[in-house]
Structure 1
């Protein structure tokens, strides 16, 4: 039998001819990242629209051209004063607090591998609030500087306490959620008892306790900004190690992740973010629970994208809830913490009822 030496070799049975796998993988990853970047840019645009609505809408609506005038061509008119002195600080604080709670929630869920983790659900916000109430009643603290330090201390203590009660390294999502719920109940009872026994503390705390942006001013913004920025930076640089943590401790160690360092950095980040946010406007719940779940449906499980998305979309939810609270009871307003609780309750129930949540 004669064989042509220049003819191509016969194909192997069952083998498919495909392009270079590495090139295809790089192309698909690049396309996915391009879509995520475009989505993040769209989210920033949505945030700008909501921020503009937050400045324009209130007991008295202000036209967009007057908003622009008050922001960039201040002349001391009534609208200019309302924009600069009241609504701009409120909007900026809402941006900071929303980003802080969203990033803290996403980082907490990744660190604990618990889809139900949230600064409110795990007691971190309650710890900060209880510390601030105690500082007001027992130590006469009335300044934002005092609030922040007590809130940071309370958030740190409660974070460690819930982690220990939940089982430390052997903790499961359900045990952490139960531990957080129990600690939150105790701290809320303490907070209520302190307020009822001290009328002065009650007067200062009654609106703060439900979560409100109404008393925002630029001095508050300036004071909490460094803490929130530091916490956000720590969370963002922990994105890659958190991806490894999500695979389990053994796998993470095999990939070279430094688990202790990652846990410490993320816990410091969560403490800074939650403590500063709670000190500024009170405990606001469900922001850190809802937004990360929405973001995962857009970005997938990569924390390097989840954290930036959460930092942008969480203020959208918070400022949107604040605008809704101003509209439904105009000319009065409903505190943003109440609105987010009303919105977040059904979402939390839906998450718990999902089959994979029930199996945790």
Structure 2
């Protein structure tokens, strides 16, 4: 029996990919509608559909859905997609399946900059907070890369440097909050990771960032696929390795930094979603990247729905749920990778 050729294998995967993307889209819609339905205030499905598809209504239920639940659901989906893509890019650039912006200090750097800005510049605007988050994320990334050096142990050193910088920035963040204890109550809620205070201004800013990031990612895809090869092979094929890594890490800073500026450092979405997507759809970046974004949006929407049940009828940070899900997943991935090396 002759072996199946690559075009045949690719053609046979088309129904599977269509099924996965269709199922993911349906699950995304269900998660979105559950986010609009579930909460302290009871809302009927009729009120939800009328609030979405009718204009000019000033009913209290419609205003509540349009100004609170709808932007929160949209923001959750966007932030989940951005964090998942940031995790995928970080794992690709570092060649470390346990890498993520959270573990590698990028989120911690953004958090430190935002908290410092809120404490010492209380009148700072949303755009200034986002600028501080980008600056902090860049500071974290540059600090880590400056500690890695070169050579065969570069990626191991990168992991150790990332964890060290993460704890350093986290300690500095806690120290900055202790300087002004009267302003830390809301910051503690934000530092766990929360989408409770979503507004349409947040959504409009993140939509622009997500679209810009996706365009850049689309342009980088051919070069990013080369990162899966050994460094020597990639350089031998004429690839400017450092330039591609720098562009990819700037994209990580764009995605993760903007998400942290608005919602705080929501943990583990960056880590576990790329692994789930890769297990379901394979490692072809052309389909892996959009599917990872789709799963990230679904996960954060469902996590936000679950977070409303923890201390019902009060709101809880969504970061509690993602940490509860992500911590066992991280332990499992670490044990599996350790077993492979053994």
Q: Counterpart of 1:116?
A: 98
CA distance in 2, matches of 1:164, 1:134: 23
* Structure 1 unmatched runs, 5+: 1-15
CA distance in 2, matches of 1:158, 1:76: 46
Instruction: Write the deviation string for residues 237-266 of structure 1: whole angstroms up to 9, x where unpaired.
Output: 323322211111122234443323321221
CA distance in 2, matches of 1:344, 1:236: 28
Aligned partner (choices 25, 34, 44) of residue 25 of structure 2: 44
Q: Counterpart of 1:299?
A: 281
1:309 aligns with 2:291: yes
CA distance in 2, matches of 1:54, 1:110: 32
1:206-245 map, 5 Å = 206-245=188-227
Of 160-169 and 215-224, deviating more is 160-169
CA distance in 2, matches of 1:357, 1:71: 50
Aligned partner (choices 20, 25, 34) of residue 53 of structure 1: 34
CA distance in 2, matches of 1:256, 1:242: 13
Q: Counterpart of 2:248?
A: 266
Q: CA deviation at 1:158?
A: 0.6
1:251 aligns with 2:233: yes
CA distance in 2, matches of 1:156, 1:168: 20
CA distance in 1, matches of 2:263, 2:220: 27
Q: Counterpart of 2:267?
A: 285
TM-score using structure 1 length = 0.89
CA distance in 2, matches of 1:245, 1:157: 24
Q: Counterpart of 2:50?
A: 69
Question: Taking structure 1 as reference, are residues 86 and 249 closer, same or farther at Cα in structure 2, changes over 3 Å only?
Answer: same
CA distance in 1, matches of 2:112, 2:235: 37
Q: Is the 8 A contact 1:116 1:173 kept in 2?
A: no
Q: CA deviation at 1:200?
A: 4.6
CA distance in 1, matches of 2:144, 2:18: 36
In structure 1, the residue corresponding to 2:192 is in which secondary structure?
coil
Question: Taking structure 1 as reference, are residues 258 and 357 closer, same or farther at Cα in structure 2, changes over 3 Å only?
Answer: farther
Q: Is the 8 A contact 1:128 1:155 kept in 2?
A: yes
Q: Is the 8 A contact 1:103 1:235 kept in 2?
A: no
Q: CA deviation at 1:41?
A: 2.4
Aligned partner (choices 189, 193, 196) of residue 171 of structure 2: 189
Consecutive aligned runs of 4 or more in structure 1 exceeding 6 Å deviation = none
Question: Taking structure 1 as reference, are residues 265 and 79 closer, same or farther at Cα in structure 2, changes over 3 Å only?
Answer: same
Question: Taking structure 1 as reference, are residues 47 and 357 closer, same or farther at Cα in structure 2, changes over 3 Å only?
Answer: farther
CA distance in 2, matches of 1:63, 1:327: 18
Aligned partner (choices 286, 289, 304) of residue 322 of structure 1: 304
Q: Is the 8 A contact 1:103 1:288 kept in 2?
A: yes
CA distance in 2, matches of 1:169, 1:157: 23
Q: CA deviation at 1:232?
A: 2.9
Q: RMSD over aligned Cα, in angstroms?
A: 2.0
Aligned partner (choices 44, 60, 63) of residue 81 of structure 1: 63
Q: CA deviation at 1:175?
A: 2.9
Which structure: larger Rg?
A: 1
In structure 2, the residue corresponding to 1:208 is in which secondary structure?
helix
